[in-house]
Amino acid sequence: MIEVSNITKTYNSGENSFQALKGVSFTINNGEFVAIMGPSGSGKSTLMHILGCLDTPTSGIYQLDGKDVSTMTDDEQADIRRDNIGFVFQSFNLLPRTTVLRNVMLPLIYANETPERREVEARNALLAAGLDEKYFMHKSNQLSGGQIQRVAIARALVNNPTMILADEPTGNLDSRTGEIVLGTFQRLNETLGRTVILITHEPDVAEHADRIIVIRDGVIVSDAKNTKKRKAAIHTDQQ
Amino acid sequence: MTTNDILHETYSALTANKVRTGLTMLGIIIGISSVITMVSIGNGAQNSIQSSIQSIGSNLVIVTPGATRSFGGGPQQARGSAQTLTVADGQAIQSQVANIGSIAFDVSSREQVIAKGTNSNTSITGTTASYATVRNIEVSDGVFITDQDVAVSAKVVVLGPTTASDLFTDGTEPVGQQIRINGGIYTIVGVTKSKGGSGFSNADDAIYMPYTTAQHYISGNQYLTEIDVSASSAEVTTQVQNDITTLLLSRHNIADTTKADFSTLNQSDIIATASSVTSTFTILLAAVAGISLLVGGIGIMNMMLTTVTERTREIGLRKAIGAKKSDINNQFLIESIMLTFTGGVIGVALGWTISIVVSQLGIISTTVTVSSVLLAFGVSAVIGVLFGYYPARRAANLNPIDALRFE
């Protein structure tokens, strides 16, 4: 469970200070599929960094599974990122010249899992993300955009995180491949009960979630259930 | 992360850009191999100089006459030209100085030597039977001069191998033949084994005869040109040298040591001086090679800094999925250590090979010491840590957000 209460973030650069978040509060329960939507400069990236424990809030409390993570040290945050959060980035960020399987294992390597467990977990995650087994030993630069993003999703899944944090996951994909990726998120949420938080500026993308939080100028302007949820047009695993 | 994981990561990072890795490593390879080669050449030179000094004799103290001084301040003659050392001096040394192994008297000069129409100008050393012991001379054929020969001033000679082959070009067995020196006829009784040319005199191109014979028939006086004393051990050579000086000063009635009419030379002093010269030479060579090693190290740092910049996004990703600062720090540090270590191994192998080739080509006989190999390895590991530390710190301290945004 994610509980954010009255979080602010102020950036100081020289004499100018800029308040990116001006008191943001919400709660996300396990198993929810939430989209955080807002135009660029709205503070959604800052919020995502704080949710992902990549940054700490200036004030306010952020609790993840009952633990206050807003005042943790760098290394404690690294542990939270490793154990509780799965990231999916707009630009995929796979390691080049490294096999698909090893890319997915990477979080488990930092978690000191045994090599045998790593392999099993990574294979399961890749299958759950909908990548065919024949690509497992491919190098990441030999795959298509949609396949790469599935590998990235598998990597986010592999450590059984509290939430999957996807930052503009369709931003670098064509709309058809984007639909496939969004379909994958929907399936992970519905069939495996994963908590998914989708950060986007596109209403079309946000409408794939069950709940949409709209943020503008550092404050939440709306937080409501998505009444017109869109089913991803392509829900199968054909690529 | 297990060791295996770290090695896997390091291997894939280093093989990602093989040309760059190879060129960077080349700096270390050249540095390490030149340290090893240079030190081995230095050591080889030191050993060869020492062994050539050792070959003169063992624990030797050489007493030579001083310069001739004329009363009233006449011109000073060359050292060794004076006739101040007598057989009595030599016998006094033998009986009164402690810790003497053996003692030999010399009466040396250069003479024309004729054998069956062949002639040669060579050094004639009139000496005692003990000369063979004092100067490490062995006889390959026949016998050396005996005490009996000395007692009766026998007209017998022993030839050095070079002299023997110069005089008997037709291959005649020299022992038993006769040669003429300064008008007298002498019988050859032996030929010595080759010692190789040493820096001071060539023991192979010499003729030895009893000193009494040399005094009677060649020099025509009672003086000695040199007394060779072999101390019983290396530790006592200084004591022997000092005692000889004191004894001869009192025998010659000289109170002021600066006016001594003889001089003594201690073999260990010569070795010590030569060693200090060659050590300086070795240090100089090692220092020059060390500079190239330092340049190699800077090359490593340069490459590591470039790598960190290139892989900023990767570092950001690793941090986002749970890598701690120490994980990133170790990863880059181990990369640079592996780079220098591999370079070090190749460098040692190359340096060793070059040293062997230099020896084989006969340029100089080199000696690769374990200590120089260990030193080179140690230095390369230290360079890896030292020059990898700063880039690794830089990588570890990258902010994951900035690193992920980096284009």
- H/E segment holding residue B209: strand B206-210
Chain B nearest-CA distance from A230, in A, is 30
**What total of structural domains would you count in chain B?**
2
Question: Backbone phi, then psi, for A223, in 5-degree steps?
Answer: -145, 100
Q: Is A116 on the interface with B (CB under 8 A)?
A: no
If asked whether residues B35 and B130 sit together in one domain, one would say no
If asked whether residues B255 and B357 sit together in one domain, one would say no
Q: Is A98–B12 a contact, with Cβ atoms under 8 angstroms apart?
A: yes
The residues of chain B scoring below 50 in pLDDT are: 70-74, 79, 199
User: What single string gives the DSSP state of each residue in B223-274?
Assistant: EESEEEEEESSGGGHHHHHHHHHHHHHHHTT---GGG-SEEEEEHHHHHHHH
Number of neighbours of residue A195 by Cβ within 10 angstroms: 21
* pTM, full prediction: 0.73
Q: Is B322–A78 a contact, with Cβ atoms under 8 angstroms apart?
A: yes
Chain A nearest-CA distance from B323, in A, is 6
Chain A nearest-CA distance from B402, in A, is 10
With CA atoms as reference, the chain A residue closest to B16 would be A97
Gyration radius from chain B CA atoms:
34
Q: Is A119 on the interface with B (CB under 8 A)?
A: no
* Contact (CB, 8 A) for B93 and B102: no
Q: Is A95–B322 a contact, with Cβ atoms under 8 angstroms apart?
A: no
Q: Is B321–A81 a contact, with Cβ atoms under 8 angstroms apart?
A: yes
Is residue B77 assigned to a domain?
Answer: no
Picking from A95, A139, A153, A157 by the largest number of B CB atoms within 10 A of its own CB, the best residue to mutate is A95
If asked whether residues B184 and B279 sit together in one domain, one would say no
Contacts of A111 in chain B (CB under 8 A): 322
At CA A129, angle to CA A128 and CA A133, rounded to 5? 80
Is residue B74 assigned to a domain?
Answer: no
Contacts of A95 in chain B (CB under 8 A): 314, 317
* Contact (CB, 8 A) for A6 and A59: yes
Give the pLDDT of residue B183: 84
At CA B22, angle to CA B19 and CA B25, rounded to 5? 150
Four-residue CA torsion sign, B190, B191, B197, B202: positive
Note the ipTM here: 0.90
If asked whether residues B137 and B246 sit together in one domain, one would say yes
Question: Which residue among B314, B321, B326 sits closest to A82, beta carbon to beta carbon?
Answer: B321
Give the pLDDT of residue B201: 60
Give the pLDDT of residue A233: 66
Is residue B395 assigned to a domain?
Answer: yes
| Beta pairing, strands B156-159 & B184-192 | parallel
Q: Is A106–B325 a contact, with Cβ atoms under 8 angstroms apart?
A: no
- E strands, B59-182, in order: 60-65, 85-86, 100-115, 118-127, 139-142, 156-159, 178-181
Question: Which residue among B5, B317, B401 sits closest to A109, beta carbon to beta carbon?
Answer: B5
Give the pLDDT of residue A158: 92
Q: How far is CA B299 from the centre of its chain?
A: 35
Q: Is A110–B318 a contact, with Cβ atoms under 8 angstroms apart?
A: yes
Q: How far apart are CA B122 and CA B125, in angstroms?
A: 10
Q: Is A93–B16 a contact, with Cβ atoms under 8 angstroms apart?
A: no
Q: Is A87–B320 a contact, with Cβ atoms under 8 angstroms apart?
A: yes
Chain A nearest-CA distance from B6, in A, is 10
Identity at B9, one-letter amino acid code: E
Picking from B6, B7, B321, B399 by the largest number of A CB atoms within 10 A of its own CB, the best residue to mutate is B321
Is residue B65 assigned to a domain?
Answer: no
- Whether A237 shows a pLDDT value over 80: the answer reads no
Q: Is A12 on the interface with B (CB under 8 A)?
A: no
Q: Is A87 on the interface with B (CB under 8 A)?
A: yes
User: What single string gives the DSSP state of each residue in A103-164?
Assistant: HHHHHHHHTT--HHHHHHHHHHHHHHTT--GGGTTSBGGGS-HHHHHHHHHHHHHTT--SEE
Q: Is B405 on the interface with A (CB under 8 A)?
A: no
pLDDT band at A166 (very low <50, low <70, confident <90, very high): very high
Structure tokens at B33: 């191999």
Is residue B204 assigned to a domain?
Answer: yes
Is residue B70 assigned to a domain?
Answer: no
* Contact (CB, 8 A) for B174 and B188: yes
**Which position has the token pair 């399961």?**
A124
Q: How far apart are CA B118 and CA B168, in angstroms?
A: 8
* Residues 37-56, chain A, touching B (beta carbon < 8 A): 49, 52, 54-55
Residues 6+ away with beta carbon under 8 Å from B22? none
If asked whether residues B339 and B400 sit together in one domain, one would say yes
**Which position has the token pair 């939440």?**
A220
Is residue B64 assigned to a domain?
Answer: no
At CA A143, angle to CA A138 and CA A149, rounded to 5? 110
Q: How many CB pairs under 8 A join A and B?
A: 65
If asked whether residues B354 and B330 sit together in one domain, one would say yes
Give the pLDDT of residue B290: 85
Give the pLDDT of residue A239: 44
With CA atoms as reference, the chain A residue closest to B311 would be A95
Residues 6+ away with beta carbon under 8 Å from B184? B155, B217
Give the pLDDT of residue B162: 87
Among A144, A233, A112, A220, which Cα is nearest to A184's? A233
Q: How far apart are CA A69 and CA A86, in angstroms?
A: 16
Structure tokens at B119: 């002639």
At CA B73, angle to CA B69 and CA B77, rounded to 5? 40
Q: How far apart are CA B348 and CA B350, in angstroms?
A: 5
Q: Where is the domain boundary, B201, B235, B260?
A: B260
Question: Which residue among A49, A75, A159 sits closest to B324, beta carbon to beta carbon?
Answer: A75
Buried b (16+ CB within 10 A) or exposed e, A113-125: beeeebbebbbeb
Q: Is B318–A54 a contact, with Cβ atoms under 8 angstroms apart?
A: no
- Whether A198 shows a pLDDT value over 90: the answer reads yes
If asked whether residues B227 and B349 sit together in one domain, one would say no
Residues 6+ away with beta carbon under 8 Å from A177? A144, A145, A146, A149, A170
With CA atoms as reference, the chain B residue closest to A109 would be B1
Q: Where is the domain boundary, B260, B293, B308?
A: B260
- Whether A234 shows a pLDDT value over 90: the answer reads no
Q: Is B1–A109 a contact, with Cβ atoms under 8 angstroms apart?
A: yes
Task: Note down the domain range covering B105.
Answer: 83-260
Give the pLDDT of residue B74: 47
Chain A nearest-CA distance from B341, in A, is 24
Q: How far apart are CA B304 and CA B298, in angstroms?
A: 10
Give the pLDDT of residue B68: 52
Question: Which residue among A75, A91, A110 sits closest to B321, beta carbon to beta carbon?
Answer: A110
Residues 6+ away with beta carbon under 8 Å from B216? B153
Q: How far apart are CA B332 and CA B268, in angstroms?
A: 53
Give the pLDDT of residue B72: 47
With CA atoms as reference, the chain B residue closest to A77 would be B322
If asked whether residues B168 and B195 sit together in one domain, one would say yes
Among B53, B28, B45, B52, which Cα is nearest to B269's? B53
If asked whether residues B245 and B330 sit together in one domain, one would say no
With CA atoms as reference, the chain A residue closest to B4 would be A115
* Contact (CB, 8 A) for A49 and A4: no
If asked whether residues B25 and B130 sit together in one domain, one would say no
**Which position has the token pair 């190239």?**
B292
Question: Which residue among A74, A75, A110 sits closest to B1, beta carbon to beta carbon?
Answer: A110
Q: Where is the domain boundary, B199, B229, B260?
A: B260
Which residues, listed in sequence order, are joined to residue A213 by a DSSP beta bridge? A36, A223
Helices (H), B122-160: 131-134, 147-152
Contacts of B5 in chain A (CB under 8 A): 109
Q: Is B321–A55 a contact, with Cβ atoms under 8 angstroms apart?
A: no
Contacts of B401 in chain A (CB under 8 A): 49, 54-55
Q: Whole-angstrom distance between the N-terminal and C-terminal Cα of chain A?
A: 34
If asked whether residues B237 and B294 sit together in one domain, one would say no
If asked whether residues B200 and B139 sit together in one domain, one would say yes
Gyration radius from chain A CA atoms:
18
User: What single string gives the DSSP state of each residue in A173-234?
Assistant: S-HHHHHHHHHHHHHHHHHH--EEEEEES-HHHHTTSSEEEEEETTEEEEEEE-TTPPPPS-
Give the pLDDT of residue B222: 85
* Contact (CB, 8 A) for A136 and A100: yes
Is residue B195 assigned to a domain?
Answer: yes
Residues 6+ away with beta carbon under 8 Å from A222? A212, A213, A214
With CA atoms as reference, the chain B residue closest to A164 would be B321
Chain A nearest-CA distance from B381, in A, is 26
User: Is B73 in a helix, a strand, or coil?
Assistant: coil
Domain annotation for chain A: domains and CATH numbers: 2-225 (3.40.50.300)
Q: How far apart are CA A54 and CA A25, in angstroms?
A: 18
Q: How do residues A98-113 score in pLDDT, each as one tens digit? A: 899 999 999 999 988 8
- Whether A63 shows a pLDDT value over 90: the answer reads yes
